A = this chain, B = another copy of it.
Amino acid sequence: VHRQNLAELQRKLDELHPADIAYILEALPLGDRLSVWQLVKAERDGDILLEVSDAVRESLIADMDDHELIAAAKELGADELADLAHELPRDVVHELMESLDAQQRERVRSALSYEEDRVGALMDFEMVTIREDVSLEVVLRYLRRLKELPGHTDKLFVVNYDGVLKGVLPLKRLLVSDPERQVSEVMALDPVRFHPDEDAYDAAQAFERYDLVSAPVVERNGKLIGRLTIDAMVDLIREEGESEVLNMAGLREEEDIFASVWKSVGNRWAWLAVNLVTAFVASRVIGLFEDSIEKLVALAALMPIVAGIGGNSGNQTITMIVRAMALGQINTANTARLLVKELGVALINGLVWGGVIGVVAGVLYGSWSLAAVMTGAMTLNLLMAALMGVLIPMTLAKLGRDPAMGASVMITAMTDSGGFFIFLGLATLFLL
């Protein structure tokens, strides 16, 4: 009966899209995942490996021997092979490269020569190119001889004899134009194009802005070397959003939810360690004021409020600024104006919420000077949070770093240590 069930399962898997099989594999614990993986037809392995998340791919590749890996990878195009190459054993990559013809090998090498975040690493090579001095009728006959067009072909690339891009012929135009006309009359002359060393994320923004489906990639001399397609850009847009969320929570990368405990510890420890150091610094700031706390123990109960609201407000500011920077909306001309606005928001919030909590603290502990210190400290800490929320990402960007990276940890560290210092310092000056 068990064998019959397996045969049934295998039949069902054969009917599924590779992306659906990838989805199933990701949702299964390791043991079940590998059992299902064994049932998948070998010639589909490559496509499925491309679809699964990095963490799950690693677990599948670890289960395959060199022979299986080579068989799976042989079914892939040059750009897909380049995507997988980093994660395959070195001798498997070597053997695969040997088996390719010179053009394919050159393409894989070229794709591998670009950093992961460049256009060159994401382009593919499945383009249909045509000449400009033929009629549309000739183009239509040429396409029929091809039998099949690559996925996401919404335009044909018009090149001269040196391979230099002259324009693009959208299929839409090809279909509605008189077949007697020449390609050169109908083609679009100045299409959006990319260079292989451009930032892939900028390219994704251009795809979004101009509603592109595919676009040519050209060298500096204008020679067509590949194309970008919307599916790769969509993946990039999603990954960008995910990595922002993961970064903020202090996770190095997306986690296989069935990863071992040790693997998860490894993914999370770095940010916890950073947090431990910043928490220790904040603790030492409090240590400076132990005498004050001993004299007025209410300070110990109230200080986390000052620090916490500062952290929350600082994170709001920094998220706003990081987002505006990613959209290219911030320049030297408007920085001062932004800073004034953020300080204004902080001042209002500080006086209002600081006032509320000051009154509550005043009633609770029967001291109006304590209430005033509380309100003053909250206002000052919110102002500092606003200042740092603007300055931290801008400074990171000036230093050539990602403005989002660790920004949340840094702002929280400052509002914690700063909040404790301001509140306990004011209390020591005015209450004791």
Interface positions, chain A 295-331, Cβ under 8 Å from B, are 297-305, 307-309, 312-313, 315-316, 318-320, 323-324, 327-331
Judged by a CB distance under 8 angstroms, whether A397 is at the interface is no
Cα of A240 to Cα of B245 in the assembled complex, Å? 11
Judged by a CB distance under 8 angstroms, whether A87 is at the interface is no
Cα of A273 to Cα of B305 in the assembled complex, Å? 12
Cα of A287 to Cα of B304 in the assembled complex, Å? 12
Judged by a CB distance under 8 angstroms, whether A40 is at the interface is no
Structural contact, A245 and B254, CB atoms closer than 8 A: no
The proximity string for A residues 257-279 relative to B, scoring 1 for CB distances below 8 Å and 0 otherwise, is 11101101100110111011011
Judged by a CB distance under 8 angstroms, whether A35 is at the interface is no
Structural contact, B210 and A337, CB atoms closer than 8 A: no
Structural contact, B316 and A210, CB atoms closer than 8 A: no
Residue in B237, B305, B345, B356 whose beta carbon sits within 8 Å of that of A241 in the complex: B237
Structural contact, A251 and B320, CB atoms closer than 8 A: yes
Residue in B27, B171, B174, B293 whose beta carbon sits within 8 Å of that of A293 in the complex: B293
Residue in B19, B210, B337 whose beta carbon sits within 8 Å of that of A17 in the complex: B210
Interface hit among A92-100, A114-122, A138-146? A138-146
Contacts of A255 in B (CB 8 A): 320
- The 8 A-B residue pairs with the shortest CB-CB distance, nearest first, are A241-B241, A249-B319, A261-B344, A300-B300, A286-B301, A19-B209, A279-B308, A279-B305
Judged by a CB distance under 8 angstroms, whether A177 is at the interface is yes
Structural contact, A209 and B23, CB atoms closer than 8 A: yes
- Known interface pairs A26-B327, A349-B269; A286-B312 also in contact (CB < 8 Å): no
Cα of A293 to Cα of B307 in the assembled complex, Å? 19
Q: Is the interface of A mostly helix, strand, loop or mixed?
A: helix
Interface hit among A1-9, A64-72, A74-82, A227-235? A227-235
Per assembly, the copies of the chain total 2
Structural contact, B304 and A284, CB atoms closer than 8 A: no
Contacts of A416 in B (CB 8 A): 304, 308
Judged by a CB distance under 8 angstroms, whether A244 is at the interface is yes
Judged by a CB distance under 8 angstroms, whether A153 is at the interface is yes
- Known interface pairs A171-B171, A272-B312, A353-B276; A143-B176 also in contact (CB < 8 Å): yes
- The residue on B at minimum CB distance from A241 is B241
With a 10 A CB-CB cut-off, give which of A153, A230, A353 has the most chain B CB atoms.
Answer: A230
Task: Write the residues of chain A forming the contact surface with B, with a CB cutoff of 8 angstroms.
Answer: 17, 19-20, 23, 26-27, 29, 140, 143-144, 146-149, 151-154, 171-172, 174-178, 207-211, 213, 230-231, 233-235, 237-238, 240-242, 244-246, 248-251, 254-255, 257-259, 261-262, 264-265, 268-269, 271-273, 275-276, 278-280, 282-284, 286-287, 290, 293-294, 297-305, 307-309, 312-313, 315-316, 318-320, 323-324, 327-331, 334, 337-338, 341, 344-345, 348-349, 353, 356-357, 360, 416, 420
Structural contact, A245 and B248, CB atoms closer than 8 A: yes
Structural contact, A271 and B312, CB atoms closer than 8 A: yes
Residue in B245, B271, B324, B357 whose beta carbon sits within 8 Å of that of A280 in the complex: B357
Residue in B213, B301, B302 whose beta carbon sits within 8 Å of that of A213 in the complex: B213
- Known interface pairs A171-B175, A230-B213, A357-B276; A349-B268 also in contact (CB < 8 Å): yes
A286 to chain B minimum Cβ distance, whole angstroms, is 4
- Known interface pairs A248-B245, A334-B29, A348-B265; A273-B353 also in contact (CB < 8 Å): yes
A-B contact pairs, 18 of them (CB 8 A): A19-B209, A26-B329, A149-B172, A149-B176, A207-B234, A208-B238, A213-B213, A230-B234, A242-B323, A249-B315, A265-B345, A275-B308, A282-B304, A283-B301, A283-B304, A286-B304, A293-B293, A300-B300
Structural contact, A282 and B294, CB atoms closer than 8 A: no
- Having A19-B209, A300-B303, A304-B420, one finds 18 other A-B pairs with CB under 8 Å, namely A27-B329, A144-B177, A154-B154, A171-B175, A174-B175, A241-B245, A249-B315, A249-B316, A251-B320, A258-B337, A258-B341, A275-B309, A279-B305, A280-B305, A282-B305, A284-B301, A287-B298, A300-B300
